[in-house]
Structure 1
Amino acid sequence: MAIDLAHSDPTIVDSTAVTLDAAKPLRRIPLGPELARPQSFEARFDHSAVFYDVFRDHTGRHVYMIGPMALNLTPLIDALVITGHPSGVTVRPKIHHGVQAEILRVTLPRTDSRLSFVLDGQSFDIAIQPNQSAALRGDRVIFTINKDNALEWIADWARFYVAEHGASAAVIYDNGSTSYSLDQLRATLAGVEGLAKFLVIPWPYPFGSMDDVFTGHKFGGHWAMFAQPPKFTQFFRKYAMGARSILNVDIDELVFSPFRKSVFKAIERAPFGLLRFNRVWVLNSRDETGPPRHQHYVIRKKGVAARDRGKKWGLAPGRAFLASWRAQPWTHQVKGWFNLSGSSGEFYGYHFIGISHSWYWDRTAPVAFDPKLHVRDRLMTTTFADVFGTARDR
């Protein structure tokens, strides 16, 4: 049975959120606030969170304050003055307006366990969470954010990475699943054979929404995604600095190697501790009936038409000395990390259209197999046969 890291220390998943007072007028305002949007957009928009977590870095010298894109709150963030307690030391933070996230670093005495500041007349006195990197020291870790993905999918996802790549730990940020309890999610991970440890982190913040009205931002309609981008930096700095290697893969993503190599070993051998590789779409087409599973899907488009525009990445956190303090892992890249090696051709992230309860678009429409356009991927059938015991020829 895999060990639940929160069993012996429940505080390991604690975070210090900073939210605006609902009784006061200050709010985060959407881009193009004058534009009419559906109620679903407003319901998913994060109007109030300033920071999702405040915690010590792994050295103990600094405190990170991580939050979603500030938008109209940016001038207030830029003017922040932080006081540490009990020392009383007052400092201005270093501030990085990152990729859909705010990253602040404050240098405070190691003995300070709280900090305070004033934001537009609202006073905050909050706890500084401890760094938790020791819990994953030496591990090869897969991590993701999840909401209501089928427990069978989650078990298959973890089982695949254990069997095929040698993952030893899994970390799941749960973004408010209602189809099952967190205890059921923990029990699912505990039952994955070969997995040594796991951690389920509650992440209750609004995920955000696609914006079909204001698309003038550099991220187009994706600008209003809040919960996911800050999570990458929070995980990297708070939990992962002692890990041997980490891999960002969603429940609908499995990494395959034509040479059947371990992606973790490749990350650890990468010249600068950063490995990037392309993704391939796996079509929602299968012969099986009943509840879908990853191993049912082995059909993709032929050639370059199968390519997904997004890339995947993995890091060896021990090489962070090559990176800026503002280095930011993000969905498809890592900003501020020295890397000259480009993308690897030895790994591909297969992105399963049929394995998702998407936050914002319907992926359930089936696709009929067309031999002129599609191919049954032999690498997938061979790998699935070894991992899940499915037929090699389908």
Structure 2
Amino acid sequence: MTFKIIEITPMLIPYGVNTSRRAPRPLNERQKDYVENYDYKTVFYDIFYSENNVCMVGPNLRNLESIINIGKWSINGFLRRDEPKFKSMWKVDNVSFELNYGELSGNPVNQFGVSCGWLDCDGKIQPNESAIFSGKKVLVSINKNNNLACIKDWIIFYQRTHGIDAVLLYDNDSTEYTMYELLDVIKDIEGIDVGVVVPWVCVKILPLVILFFNVLVFMLINTIYMFNYCLKTSCEKKFLNLKLKKIRA
């Protein structure tokens, strides 16, 4: 039996960098929460080893592709002289480097580095753990704050009706419970001998900027209101004093 939480290596555009993925949808076709929910800053969701390749998977790069292409990449500390290969799919881009003989015959491939101006970072190349699900009938889904009892009933239904014996859940930053609690639910179900939870979290910068902007606007409006109030009060006092002087006269 295997029950675990998978570690991922995301790559994000850093805070303070004035570069973002261009949104594909025209302004006149965007719903009210489009800007808030669109992922402007994630470059790759995960970086991992697969079939003699280092693979980087993320949302469509769009305008970021040229920047990634000219970046200086290294694997296990050695600079790559070739350019990465790009494969674009529906809402997903796969960027990869094919490993050479020296990289495959040497130390395990586990570190990458990249430098392309605004993006200068390194990190761990995650192992390919797809073998966990070899020969399994797998139930796959994305979860965010769904009731744990409902999740358990849902898995039990698929186990009894369709004979699944493995569960793969991508947890989209649930706040009602931890990933360990979610994994415990999977463990408790009879007939399930493989359960994996993947933390699928995207850090979005833009909503914070919008919030900050809204706070500034509120403060500005409040300041103008207080200024007008003070000015009005001051004028009323002057008018009252003038009126009292006339009455006394």
- Asked whether the two chains share a fold, i.e. TM above 0.5, the reply is yes
Equivalent residue for 2:199? Answer: 202
Q: Secondary structure, in 3 states, of the residue corresponding to 1:91?
A: coil
Q: Within 1, Cα distance between the matches of 2:132 and 2:25?
A: 43
**CA displacement, residues 51-101 of structure 1 (integer Å, 9 cap, x when unaligned):** 0111000x3x11111011123223223444532223444321111121111
SS at match of 1:25: coil
In structure 1, what is the Cα distance between the partners aligned to 2:142 and 2:136?
Answer: 19
Contact 1:5/1:135 (8 A) holds in 2: no
Q: Which residue is 1:124 aligned to? A: 121
1:192 to 177, 186, 189: 189
Structure 2 Cα separation of the partners of residues 164 and 38 of structure 1: 38
Q: How many aligned residue pairs are there?
A: 198
Q: Which has the higher contact order (CA 8 A, sep 6+)?
A: 2
* Structure possessing the higher radius of gyration over alpha carbons: 2
Residues in 2 aligned to 1:97 and 1:138: alpha-carbon distance in whole angstroms:
29
Distance 1:84 1:67 in 2: 19
1:146 is displaced (CA, Å) by 0.9
1:165 deviates by 2.1
Q: 1:36 and 1:22 mapped to 2: Cα distance?
A: 28
Q: Which runs of 5+ in 1 are unaligned?
A: 208-394
The 1:197–1:32 alpha-carbon spacing in structure 2 relative to 1, beyond 3 Å, is closer
Q: CA RMSD in A?
A: 2.5
Shift of 1:196: 1.3
| Distance in 1 (alpha carbons) for counterparts of 2:182 and 2:118 | 41
1:288 corresponds to: none
2:73 corresponds to 1:76: no
Match of 1:5 in 2: 3
The residue aligned with 1:144 is 141
- 1:74, 1:89 → 2: CA distance? 17
Q: CA deviation at 1:33?
A: 7.0
Q: Is residue 27 of structure 1 aligned with residue 20 of structure 2?
A: yes
Partner of 2:132: 135
> Using the alignment, how far apart are the partners of 2:181 and 2:80 within structure 1?
44
| 2:189 match: secondary structure | coil
Please state if 1:97 is matched with 2:88: yes
Contact 1:17 1:51 (8 Å CA) reproduced: yes
User: Where do 4+ consecutive residues of structure 1 move more than 4 Å?
Assistant: 32-39
SS of 1:90's equivalent in the other structure is coil
Q: Alpha-carbon deviation of 1:162?
A: 1.7
Question: Do 2:71 and 2:115's aligned partners in 1 also have CA atoms closer than 8 Å?
Answer: yes
- Describe the shift of the 1:136–1:51 C-alpha distance in structure 2 as closer, same or farther (beyond 3 A): same
In structure 2, distance between residues paired with 1:182 and 1:85: 31
Q: Secondary structure at the match of 1:82?
A: strand
Query: What code does the residue aligned with 1:83 have?
Result: S
Question: In structure 2, what is the Cα distance between the partners aligned to 1:86 and 1:117?
Answer: 10
Q: Closer, same or farther in 2 for the Cα pair 1:35/1:73, shift >3 Å? A: farther
Asked whether the equivalents of residues 51 and 68 of structure 1 are also in contact (C-alpha less than 8 Å), the reply is yes
Matched, 1:51 2:44: yes
Look up the equivalent residue of 1:5 and give its one-letter code.
F
What is the Cα deviation at residue 38 of structure 1? 6.9
3-state DSSP of counterpart to 2:67: helix
Hey, what's the Cα distance between the residues in 2 that align with 1:21 and 1:114?
20
> Residue in 1 aligned with 2:234?
none
> Are the structure 2 counterparts of residues 136 and 75 from structure 1 closer, same or farther at C-alpha, using a change threshold of 3 Å?
same
Indicate conservation of the 8 Å contact 1:86/1:113, yes or no: no
1:182 aligns with 2:182: no
> What's 1:18 paired with?
11
Q: Deviations over 1:324-354 (max 9, x none)?
A: xxxxxxxxxxxxxxxxxxxxxxxxxxxxxxx
Partner of 1:24, secondary structure, is coil
Q: Check the 8 A contact 1:81/1:93 in 2, yes or no.
A: no
Distance 2:121 2:63 in 1: 19
Instruction: Specify the SS of the correspondent of 2:138.
Output: strand
Q: Give the TM-score, by structure 2 length.
A: 0.70
CA distance in 2, matches of 1:71, 1:37: 18
- Normalising by structure 1, we get a TM-score of 0.46
Measured in 1, the distance between the counterparts of 2:151 and 2:130 equals: 24
Q: What SS class does the counterpart of residue 22 from structure 1 fall into? A: coil
Per-residue deviation, 1:102: 0.9
Deviation digits for residues 158-180 of structure 1, max 9, x if unmatched? 11222222211101111012233
One-letter amino acid of the counterpart of residue 162, structure 1: Q
Match of 2:33 in 1: 40
Q: Distance in 2 between matches of 1:87 and 1:194?
A: 46
